[in-house]
Amino acid sequence: MDTSAPNLYGILIEFDHPERLVNACRKVRDAGFKRWDAHTPFPIHGMDGAMGIRVTRLPFLILGGGLTGLAAALLMQWWMNAVDYPFLISGKPLFGLPANIPVVFELTVLFAALTTFFGMWGRNGMPHLYHPVFKSERFRRVTADRFFIVLEARDPLFQLSKTQEFAASLGGVAVELLED
């Protein structure tokens, strides 16, 4: 963390080729940066590895969501049919497992799906309506033909002059400071 420039968000580095971006990402990863990101117009195979991103732990959250849905469905049907408003239908037990399975299945899927969706939002810090990179004119080409790395100032390794030097050594076509 460098406090010499309080308004600084980070350093933007522009690349003109995905291969150069991936190589630069490996260097940033190996240098030990944690607070940084890469932006590309299209998905690039092998980016996760090059950026040192671990496999997502979202599935565990989803499993928890699914099991919660399963339990909620059983509890709900037991309480409604067998406790709160017992109603005999064609001689079936008031709490009969086979009759409850369809709702159990639906709620398991629903809770798991909602957990997936909002869990993904949560883990990615969404919704995210503003980002300092939008101030950069250069960055507009990220949806067309340019590739970017942003090294954030809040990274513990960030020191303005040294990091600027490091950024310049990554093989990009331009380096720019981003204000917050």
Contacting residues toward another protein, per CB under 8 A: 22, 44-50, 55, 59, 63, 90-92, 98-99, 101-102
Which of 2, 11, 13 is closest to 142 using CA atoms? 13
Query: With respect to another protein, which residue has the nearer C-beta, 68 or 164?
Result: 68
For another protein, the closer of residues 92 and 140 by Cβ is: 92
Least spacing, CB of residue 9 vs another protein, in Å: 28
CB closer to another protein out of 59 and 122:
59
Q: Which is nearer to another protein, 99 or 160 (CB)?
A: 99
Among 134, 167, 132, smallest CA distance to 14 is for: 167
**Parallel, antiparallel or unpaired: strands 8-15 and 36-39:** unpaired
Q: Nearest approach, Cβ of 53 to another protein (angstroms)?
A: 11
CA distances from 112 to 6, 24, 38, 70, 121 (A): 42, 37, 29, 10, 14
The 10 Å CB-count burial string (b at 16+, else e) for 75-85 is eebeeebeeee
To another protein, the closest distance from the beta carbon of 19 in angstroms equals 8
